[in-house]
Amino acid sequence: MQRKNFTEVTEFIFLGFSSFGKHQITLFVVFLTIYILTLAGNIIIVTITLMDHHLHTPMYFFLSMLASSETVYTLVIVPRMLSSLIFHHLPISLAGCATQMFFFVTLATNNCFLLTAMGYDRYVAICDPLRYMVIMSKGMCAWLVCGSLGTGLIMAVFHVPAMFNLSFCGTVVEHFFCDIYPVMKLSCVDTTLNEIINYGVSSFVILVPIGLIFISYVLIISSILKIASAEGRKKAFATCASHLTVVIVHYGCASIAYLKPKSESSVEKDLLLSVTYTIITPLLNPVVYSLRNKEVKDALCRAVGKNTS
């Protein structure tokens, strides 16, 4: 009923990086380079995990699922962002914006819980190594992956329709994609309920995984400290270092972006944070897990050797 009181908005325009003026071409080159590296890295991880039987383990199964999710996640956001840096003020329909937000919420949530599943995998590997393959069976791995994606879908179904049931007056989104708060700011009506929903969803998606990962690592560290040899402790810490690096960057940026008070928001800070978790973090996964991982490097060498022989 409320929609009839306002001029119906049918499309949005992204403000994006227009405040950077002549530097937008430089940003385009930088972001395009990072995007190509991200796609290449994640595709290599998925391919090499499928091809090499040495990597057919729970840890690399979760890593390939995370790489697949990150690939689609960046496809949803980055190409349009790159286009807006060249062709300014590109419009996006209301339906297109809702679709982008739906995939963003689904995949961002999925990534958070996949990282949690990887934390649980490391906990079992270090704290209960003798039963590792029994606990982390194919069924358990599939259940954890499906649970992560299912949670993402539930959050999106709960969140996005409530957002686009609002009436909108503004058309200029102060962002480079259809993120939640920038779109919500364009509403003509009271958004208190939507803000409560958003904060509740964000708190659940960020704090629950952080809590579970924290518990996992408390148990992991206590087990590692009981290892007698320094070499054994070092090896155990090394198996967790890559995951912990990605977790700190991922949840650090997400927490600042979605759990900080609205009074501390600014367009420039929000853009910088969004660039970090939509462009930088997806690149971290293949870099951290591949370049620092001997097993992946050995698998790549085997694959290259087969192709050249």
Q: In this structure, what token pair is assigned to residue 55? A: 């990597």
Among 117, 151, 109, CA closest to 135: 117
Number of neighbouring beta carbons within 10 Å of residue 105: 25
Q: Across the 309 residues of the chain, what is the mean pLDDT of every consecutive 10-residue run?
A: 54 81 84 92 88 84 91 92 83 92 94 92 89 93 96 92 88 88 88 86 89 90 82 76 80 76 65 81 78 68 65
Check residue 132 and give its pLDDT. 92
Among 284, 222, 223, 260, CA closest to 67: 284
Check residue 306 and give its pLDDT. 62
Check residue 265 and give its pLDDT. 60
User: 124-129 long-range CB contacts below 8 Å, 24 or more apart?
Assistant: 125/59, 125/239, 126/220, 126/223, 126/224, 126/236, 126/239, 126/240, 127/219, 127/220, 127/223
How far, rounded to the nearest angstrom, does the alpha carbon of residue 40 sit from its chain's CA centroid?
Answer: 17
Number of neighbouring beta carbons within 10 Å of residue 205: 23
Question: How far apart are alpha carbons 103 and 160 in whole angstroms?
Answer: 10
Check residue 111 and give its pLDDT. 92
Measured at the CA of 60, the angle between CA 55 and CA 61, to 5 degrees, comes to: 105
Check residue 293 and give its pLDDT. 67
Question: How far apart are alpha carbons 181 and 2 in whole angstroms?
Answer: 21
Question: How far apart are alpha carbons 301 and 306 in whole angstroms?
Answer: 9
What single-letter DSSP state applies at residue 256?
H
